[in-house]
Structure formats: C-alpha cells, structure tokens
C-alpha cells in the first residue's frame, strides 16, 4: 500500500493512508491548504466585509442572521444572494425557502435578482423545509439557500394540535437532527445556508441579557458565523435604515464582537461608494480636514490631499477612478492592493488627484 505523505511522520501518514483505503477518501489532511481555499462571498457592504475579517461570509458554511422584527434581515440576505450571483452567476441557483410567506416579488426584483432564475419553496412544515434544504444541498447545483425563518417553522405534530394544546421542544429537536447533516452538506457540496432567526425575551431573567433566539441551541452551535442585525430609520436620507450588524460568532477568522454600521437603502441595498468612504474613515485610511480629504499616497508614503469637496467630492473621485476604489476596498478588507499597477495600466485617475 502506497503511503501518502501528509505530515512526514511515518506513523501518522500510515494511519491516514489506511483510513483513505478503508473509507475511500482522505479523512486526514494538512489544514493549511484547506483553509486557504475557503471562498468568501461579499455581503454587499464593505464595512461588514471588513468586520468579518475574510472579506465576506464563507461560501460553504452555516450562517445565522438574527435580530428584532423589521431590522432588515431578509433584505440583507437578498443582498448577499445578489453578491453571490454577481460573482458566480446562476449556474448554481440560489434558493429561497419562505416559511413566513411575507416576502414579495417586488422586493426580490428591486434588489437586482432575476426571480425567474431563482428557486422559491413554500413548505408547510419544518420537516418539509429542512428535508428540502438537505436534498437541494446534496445536488451540488445550489450555491446558497436562504431559510426564512426559523421562528416561522412549525413541526408537523404542532400543526395537528389544538390552540389550547402545547408541545415542548419539537422544533429544537428537529433542528438538532437536521443540522448534523446540513453542516456537513454545506462543506462537502460548497453550499451556503443562511438561516434567518428572530430575537425573543426570556421571561423572568433579572440579571444579564434576557435576549434569546427561537429554535433552541442547535443553530448557535452549528453556525460558523452569527450576525446580530439591528437598525433604525436614518436621519440623513429617506427610505434608508441606519443598520448595525454585530459579529457575535466567527469561526473562520479571528474577528469577533466587531460591529459594522452602514446605510441600507430599502429595497435597493447599500451604496458601495458611501459605504467605502465610511469604512475608510473609520479605519483611518482617509481623514477630512474641512473640505479637503487627506490620505497617505501609496507611491510617496506621504500625507497628501486626495481631493476637495468633502464626502461628495470624494465620492465623485472614486466614481471616476476604478483603481482608487479597488485600492481603498483592498485596504478595508485586508487584501493586497494593485493600485500602482492599475494606474500605470489604465491611467484613469481624476485630474488633480495624486497618482
């Protein structure tokens, strides 16, 4: 039997080769290459991508997005779906499992998603919905599944009960059983599962945080990333939410308890240019000195005036310069910038801006 070299330690390599021969696949491997190949899907917000530490959400994990009603959870999920199809197209279709029956077609299309190339499911029970998630994920033809929402799911037994009859723990037991396989399916078939959940209050809690979520402890346990969404109407623009997203759990990057705040236009999403300006300012990449915008020139490494006109002037400068946009975005998301290379290749910096 040929022994595959994994660690260079003969005893460990022999066990790994024996397991591969017995079970037909590699059960042991070096973790370095595996973690390097984790793909991140942008959330549509550069500020949130920066807070997550890997430039977005992992494309092959279970994600929980929860918060109070009308916080923008479904819209944020649809923006993530839009980012996915912008990157990979509709070859692997997105799926929307709608248990709440509240999402309209106008919202889907206004977010820039082709509703005719997206699959919509309307299951009646939690068992049917979770079975759909498992079966669709196993096909390998689905890229992202949105489960809206856990709080709206009811078990088949619960549908047969009278209003004065109660059942204890039906949904948590179902989720605990289903997520054992869903968490494995997501990695094996490169499918992102977005579970939307609602916040509830534990009655009788006198000290500490009384906030909890529906469905028991299975979703918090199996989720690789948990995002807590809250929002309030923006004072700056109509039909806009000042959204605040906190990274409550993150097992794909050393970025925990970070908070991203950005403007979310209802039924449209975030403005990438204003979002980039806000993130760059928070990280200290730019600063406003009256109407002038200061930054560190990547060529001379000196503080210079990037443009004038405040936030509106900077937005116009970014609109006219793709390399500048890419440079600031790369710095915000901890990626390598090709700013100077792009300038030499395209030479499209606005006049008056340092190159």
pLDDT of residue 2: 57
Whether the bond between 46 and the residue before it is cis, its omega within 30 degrees of 0, is no
Write out pLDDT tens, residues 235-245: 888 889 999 99
Write out pLDDT tens, residues 258-298: 999 999 998 899 999 999 999 999 999 999 998 899 998 88
- Rounded to an integer, the average pLDDT of 86-101 is 95
* Residue-range domain boundaries for the chain: 38-268, 278-346
Determine the 3-state secondary structure of 154 from DSSP.
coil
Whether the predicted model's global pTM rises above the 0.85 cut: yes
End-to-end CA distance of the chain: 60
Determine the 3-state secondary structure of 198 from DSSP.
strand
pLDDT of residue 31: 55
Spatial separation of the C-alpha atoms in residues 195 and 181, rounded to whole Å:
15
Instruction: Quote the crossing angle between the two packed helices 170-188 and 126-138, to the nearest 10°.
Output: 10
DSSP assignment of 27-96: S---HHHHHHT--EE--S-HHHHHHHSSSSEETTSEEEEEESTTSSHHHHHHHHHHHHHHHHTTSSEEEE
Whole-number average pLDDT of the chain:
88
- Rounded to an integer, the average pLDDT of 209-213 is 90
pLDDT of residue 340: 67
212 and 228 Cβ atoms separated by less than 8 Å: no
Residue 317 CB coordination number (10 Å): 21
Highest mean pLDDT among 70-74, 159-163, 299-303: 70-74
CATH architecture label of 38-268: 3-Layer(aba) Sandwich (3.40)
The residue with greater pLDDT, 337 or 73, is: 73
pLDDT of residue 353: 47
pLDDT of residue 128: 96
Question: Which tokens sit at 205?
Answer: 């809690």
Task: Give me the half-sphere count of Cα atoms (radius 13 Å) on the Cβ side of residue 251.
Answer: 12
Is residue 354's pLDDT more than 90?
no
């Amino acid at each position: 039997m040929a022994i595959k070299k994994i660690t260079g330690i003969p005893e460990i390599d022999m066990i790994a080769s024996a397991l591969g021969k017995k079970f037909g696949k590699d059960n042991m491997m070096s973790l370095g290459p595996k973690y390097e190949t984790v793909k991140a899907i942008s959330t549509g917000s550069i500020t949130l991508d920066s807070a997550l530490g890997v430039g977005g959400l992992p494309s092959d994990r279970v994600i929980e997005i929860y918060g109070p009603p009308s916080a923008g959870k479904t819209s944020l999920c649809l923006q993530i779906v839009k980012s996915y199809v912008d990157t990979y197209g509709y070859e692997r279709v997105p799926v929307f499992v709608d248990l709440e029956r509240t999402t309209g077609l106008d919202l889907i299309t206004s977010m820039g998603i082709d509703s005719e190339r997206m699959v919509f499911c309307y299951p009646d029970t939690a068992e049917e919905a979770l079975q759909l998630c498992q079966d669709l994920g196993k096909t390998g033809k689905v890229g992202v599944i949105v489960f809206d929402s856990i709080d709206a799911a009811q078990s088949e037994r619960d549908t047969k009960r009278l209003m004065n009859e109660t059942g204890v723990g039906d949904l948590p037991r179902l989720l605990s059983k289903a997520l054992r396989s869903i968490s494995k399916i997501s990695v094996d078939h490169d499918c992102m599962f977005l579970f939307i959940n609602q916040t509830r209050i534990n009655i009788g809690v006198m000290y500490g945080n009384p906030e909890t979520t529906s469905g028991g402890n299975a979703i918090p346990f199996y989720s690789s990333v948990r995002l807590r969404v809250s929002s309030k109407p923006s004072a700056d623009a109509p039909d806009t939410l000042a959204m605040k997203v906190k990274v409550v759990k993150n097992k794909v990057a050393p970025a925990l308890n970070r908070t991203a705040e950005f403007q979310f236009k209802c039924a449209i999403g975030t403005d990438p240019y204003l979002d980039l300006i806000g993130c760059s300012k928070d990280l200290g990449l730019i600063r406003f000195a009256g109407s002038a915008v200061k930054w560190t020139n990547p060529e001379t490494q000196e503080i210079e005036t990037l443009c004038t006109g405040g936030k509106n002037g900077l937005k116009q400068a970014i609109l006219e310069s793709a390399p500048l946009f890419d440079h600031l975005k790369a710095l915000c998301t901890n990626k390598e910038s090709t700013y100077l290379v792009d300038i030499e290749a395209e030479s499209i910096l606005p006049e008056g801006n340092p190159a």
